[in-house]
Amino acid sequence: MTSPRATIAFIGLGNMGAPMAANLVKAGHTVTGYDIVPAALQALIAAGGKLASSAADAAKDADVVITMLPAGEHVRDVWLHQGGLIEAVKSRGPLLIDCSTIDVESARVVTAAAEAAGLAMLDAPVSGGTIGAQNGTLTFMVGGAEDAFARGKPILEAMGKNIFHAGGPGAGQAVKICNNMMLAINMVGVSEGFLLARKLGLDWNKLHEICSTATSNSWALSQYCPAPGPAPAAPSNRDYAPGFMTQLMVKDVKLSQAAAEATGSPTPLAALALTFYEKAMQAGDATKDFSVVFRWLAGQKR
Ligand code: NAD
């Protein structure tokens, strides 16, 4: 079991990492952070964390090392290549946890390298968005060995409400890719419904109130409504500031499509939804929240 008061290195303090690290501080852990963008470190200082000059520097005294990075190439880079974190920490035996959403293959390669160095590693991607990260209510879907999961669970509980052991290495990422593929399709569906409702003369608040208790209800509809107004905390009420950037959703749906291709699984709706998010990106909304697909769709002709 990892000590309830752990020394934790947190690498990658962006939209998700910063509030997650802040919740670890709140839970009484000592957190040292690193990000290549200096501005990203401010939130951790404000929360009571410490700063390091590199990933290896952050991890030098850590019982647990967590990464929350954009994509597989960054995760491989930090753990295996430039960052070389596995090499830097292997003599101390910390638990390694990657919370980024990445391809299953990268997760398995990095975990295998960690295990070859005598370290336990978990892939522990999350769901719940920046709101869940701030509130400490994330869902963690975790891949890795049973004993590594038992060590990591108390740490993850400081950042999330539902902590699931999905299976062996890479299983957390497999669940996450399926989750985000379903979410990408669902967000387009909710957007189409709200756009049609307006054309039919309906009030968005009324539609939201009714459908939140009807069979079309979903997280995208009730909490993250892409039409401005009905869900106060949703990015649609602040010009689609992220949240979860469209470029990250495109990354994730592409991961699902690569997995579907490799396994021969039919995903025609996801393939179509991907083209919408890509077009929203091309229209200049790559760094807006992915629910901006609503605004892109609103600009289309039937
Ligand atoms: P982000 O781009 O806001 O944050 C990533 C951070 O990593 C940035 O601050 C960046 O500077 C930093 N970084 C990149 N390379 C680095 C390196 N070599 N060393 C140190 N820091 C480095 O992205 P985010 O929204 O926080 O998402 C992070 C991950 O979580 C992604 O894989 C994403 O798909 C996933 N995710 C995001 C959300 C969401 O709602 N934002 C929800 C669930 C999962």
Average per-residue pLDDT for the chain: 96
**Ramachandran angles phi, psi of 159, nearest 5°:** -120, -10
Whether 176 and 167 have beta carbons less than 8 Å apart is answered as: no
pTM for the full model? Answer: 0.93
pLDDT in the model for residue 174: 97
Q: Find out whether the beta carbon of 32 lies less than 6 Å from any atom of ligand 1.
A: no
In this structure, which residue's CA is closest to atom 41 in ligand 1? 244
Q: Which of 23, 44, 69, 80 to mutate to test the pocket of ligand 1 (most atoms within 8 A of CB)?
A: 69
* C-alpha span between 42 and 137 (Å, rounded): 23
288 Cα: distance to centroid of ligand 1 (angstroms): 14
Predicted confidence band of residue 201 (pLDDT cuts 50, 70, 90)? very high
Would you please indicate which residues are annotated as catalytic (active-site) residues? 176
* C-alpha span between 249 and 73 (Å, rounded): 16
The upper half-sphere exposure of residue 33, i.e. CA atoms within 13 Å in the direction of its Cβ, equals: 31
Please give the number of the atom of ligand 1 that sits closest to the Cα of 71.
Answer: 32
* C-alpha span between 143 and 169 (Å, rounded): 5
In tens, the pLDDT along 158-177 reads: 999 999 999 999 999 999 99
Predicted confidence band of residue 98 (pLDDT cuts 50, 70, 90)? very high
Q: Residue 98, SS3? A: strand
75 Cα: distance to centroid of ligand 1 (angstroms): 10
In tens, the pLDDT along 115-158 reads: 999 999 999 999 999 999 999 999 999 999 999 999 999 999 99
| pLDDT cut 70: percent of the chain above it | 99
The two three-digit tokens of residue 208, written as one number = 């939201």
Q: Find out whether the beta carbon of 253 lies less than 6 Å from any atom of ligand 1.
A: no
- The mean pLDDT of 59-74, rounded to a whole number, is 97
Predicted confidence band of residue 4 (pLDDT cuts 50, 70, 90)? confident
Q: Find out whether the beta carbon of 241 lies less than 6 Å from any atom of ligand 1.
A: no
Q: Residue 180, SS3? A: helix
List all residues 6 or more positions away from 38 whose beta carbon is below 8 Å from its beta carbon. Answer: none
pLDDT in the model for residue 83: 73
Q: Find out whether the beta carbon of 16 lies less than 6 Å from any atom of ligand 1.
A: yes
Q: Find out whether the beta carbon of 130 lies less than 6 Å from any atom of ligand 1.
A: yes
In the chain the domains, ranked by start, together with CATH numbers, are 7-168 (3.40.50.720), 174-298 (1.10.1040.10)
Q: Which of 248, 250, 290 to mutate to test the pocket of ligand 1 (most atoms within 8 A of CB)?
A: 248
pLDDT in the model for residue 97: 98
Q: Find out whether the beta carbon of 14 lies less than 6 Å from any atom of ligand 1.
A: yes
Q: Which of 36, 78, 99, 180 to mutate to test the pocket of ligand 1 (most atoms within 8 A of CB)?
A: 36
**pLDDT at residue 3 tops 70:** no
- Helical ranges in the chain per DSSP H: 17-26, 42-47, 55-59, 72-79, 85-89, 104-116, 129-135, 146-156, 171-199, 204-211, 219-222, 246-263, 268-280, 293-298
In tens, the pLDDT along 247-302 reads: 999 999 999 999 999 999 999 999 999 999 999 999 999 999 999 999 999 999 98
Q: Find out whether the beta carbon of 100 lies less than 6 Å from any atom of ligand 1.
A: yes
pLDDT in the model for residue 2: 53
Please return the burial class of 147, using the count of CB atoms within 10 Å of its CB with bins 0-12, 13-18 and 19+: exposed
64 to 59, 121, 151, 189: CA distances (angstroms): 8, 10, 10, 40
10 Cα: distance to centroid of ligand 1 (angstroms): 12
Q: Find out whether the beta carbon of 142 lies less than 6 Å from any atom of ligand 1.
A: no
